[in-house]
Structure formats: C-alpha cells, structure tokens
Chain A
C-alpha cells in the first residue's frame, strides 16, 4: 500500500444521496459495506449490506469487486 493512499480523501454520501443511489441502481451493481462489529450489524443494518468488520477488511478485500462502487459505513 502506498503511504499517500492512507491520506486519500473518500467522498462522503449523505443518507438522502444514498437512498437515491440505492433506488436508481440495480442490486448487485454496487456494494453496501458494513465495517462495524457483528453485534452492531445484527442490531441494525441497511438492508443488503455485506458485513466485513474493519479488523478483517484487509484480509477479505478480495471478496469484493473493485469495479463496483462501494459505500461504507
């Protein structure tokens, strides 16, 4: 990993923008990524989210398609 990428800003999306994005894109064409802990995922998640807790993210990134937009929370 390049050091500068650690500081690459990620674009924010607010919930209204996310709702519009979800409504206007087919399921399977994007990834909703829940990076919280399993207990938090179980309590409430955006429907269709994939759970990948932050500590395991690096090891499991190959499970995701880098060509698809990812919205993380």
Chain B
C-alpha cells in the first residue's frame, strides 16, 4: 500500500515484533501524554523533559541507597549521574532558546519532577521494583526497560507536537535515550562476562 502511495523506501520487519530482540516499550499510546497538549513552546518542552530526567535521577539515586550489593549500588549511582548530565544538556538547550533565561536555581524551582521519563511515579517505581536491585543484571535490565519507555514517550510527544523546533528537541531527547539504551546494553554485556 505504501509503495503505491509515493513512499520511496519501505521495509518489512522480517518476523515482526516476535523476532525483535531489543527492549520493547509497553502501555497505551496515551500513557504519560496528559503532560502535553501539543501547543507547547520549546521552553515548555525543555522544562517538561528536565522534570522527567530529574524524576528518573531521583529514582536511580533512591534505588542506590536500597541496594545491598555495593556493585549494584555503584551502578545505580552511575545511572543517576548520567541523568544529571542529561539535565545539564537540557539546561544548555534552554539557555540557547530563551532570550531572557532564568538562572539555574530559578529554572529548577519551576520544574515538576513527580513523573519519571516513562510516565511513572518514582516513589511507586522504587516500591514496586526493589527485587530488581538485588543484582547488577536485574538493575540493568530494569534501567533498559525504563529508558525504552522514555524514548518511546519522547517520540510520542514529538508526534503530538506541531512546532518543528519542539519536534526537533524531542527527537534529540529520543536520540539521547537511544544512546543511553545502547550504553546500558554495553554495560550489560560487560557484567554478563564477569
């Protein structure tokens, strides 16, 4: 159907989703979408993303204090640190698009971080997923699931937004999550070889 309607490059995934070996996202397409109306400015979307990244950082940092195995705690702390870098990149993006920017403290004061990237509440996540924090493999697997959800959420946001600048920011965030997912996969390989 697509090739007959002007689409130049169309591929079929052989074996469909059943053959897919990467991490999958789950949940309805509307999940986490209440945060977005579709007419947001680049600044709004940056603030929203900043809140989501901070929520995830809080989750990883909280999980690090609960982990019994020091290697797992260290890994969780490292994941929390990566989210700080994500936030820093978002703040730099904010400075680039805002003509009269707030300082970092004032910017952060206006951020809502109650929802994590995948559209969950960080406290509930901690409560429900403590068993995952017993091993590095469990932590990595759980983190990859979260990052896959986050990437999916950014792409759904991008799909909903009309403004091309906003779309570009959201695609960039999805790219960041994709890179994050890849580095988590590399870490998983490293731990699997131990």
Contacts and interface: CB of A to CB of B under 8 A. Distances in A.
Contacts of B1: 1, 57-58, 61
26 contacts: A8-B4, A11-B11, A11-B12, A13-B12, A14-B13, A15-B15, A15-B19, A15-B20, A22-B178, A27-B171, A28-B171, A38-B28, A44-B25, A45-B24, A47-B152, A48-B152, A48-B155, A57-B1, A64-B7, A66-B5, A66-B6, A71-B12, A71-B13, A72-B11, A73-B16, A73-B20
A63 to B, nearest CB: 9
Interface string B150-194: 011011001100000001100110110010011000000000000
Interface of A: 1-2, 5-6, 8, 10-15, 18-19, 22-23, 26-28, 34, 36, 38, 40-51, 57-58, 61, 64, 66-73
The secondary structure that dominates the A interface is mixed
B22 A42 contact: no
B149 interface: yes
Given A8-B4, A50-B159, A45 B17 contact: yes
Interface of B: 1-17, 19-29, 148-149, 151-152, 154-155, 158-159, 167-168, 171-172, 174-175, 178, 181-182
Contacts of B182: 23
Contacts of A38: 28-29
Contact of B26 (A12, A42, A51, A57): A42
Nearest to A61: B5
Contacts of B4: 1-2, 5-6, 8
